[in-house]
Amino acid sequence: MTISPVKPLFTMMAAYNQWANRRLFGAASTIPDRDYRADRGAFFGSLHGTFNHLLVGDLIWMRRFTGEGEAPAGLDVIVHHDLADLRQARETLDRRIILYMGGLTDTALGATIRYRSTRSPAELEQELAPLLLHFFNHQTHHRGQAHTLVTEIAGEAPSLDLLIYQRETGVSMIEGAGGDFSKPEKRP
């Protein structure tokens, strides 16, 4: 089976997503609850609202991709009221994303996905690969907002740069073609 260069990109991005989320949740865990929940004028209000939106968006997209799992009705739904529960749900979903991306085939990447937007009942369709690019771009966008909130509250936040991830873990896009992404933590 020939593996296009696209699959390694998605498997690497899934592992990077987990790494970045762990770093950001780790930083958030040091923030007093009052500050963590305070409305700071962000798109989803607070750091808690932003983290919930990231989870909700990923749940919705994974449901669209796989036909399985929950899909909250709105983008601003608070699915977990406690940071510890939210962090655990994030870990669980990140593992699911990694396994899903690791199992993709070239055929699947070119397949058309049909889904409904949260804003419109009209059915939409598009190839999976561009939808996955949107999926990871959406994560980066809102994780950047969360990073800004952590910096605003705590004075600093960990680097979430993809290049830092690659240097720290030794994971590159090339490894994604044959690497074991079921355990994306540090690799030799």
SS3 21: helix
48 has binding-site annotation: no
The 3-class secondary structure across 75-107, one letter per residue, is CCCCCCCCHHHHHHHHHHHHHHHHHHHHCCCHH
Neighbours of 132 (CB within 10 A): 23
Neighbours of 49 (CB within 10 A): 19
138 has binding-site annotation: yes
147 has binding-site annotation: no
Q: For residue 51, which phi and psi values (nearest 5 degrees)?
A: -60, -40
- Name residue 63's amino acid: R
Q: Where is the binding site, in residues?
A: 53, 138, 142
Q: Where is the binding site for a divalent metal cation, in residues?
A: 53, 138, 142
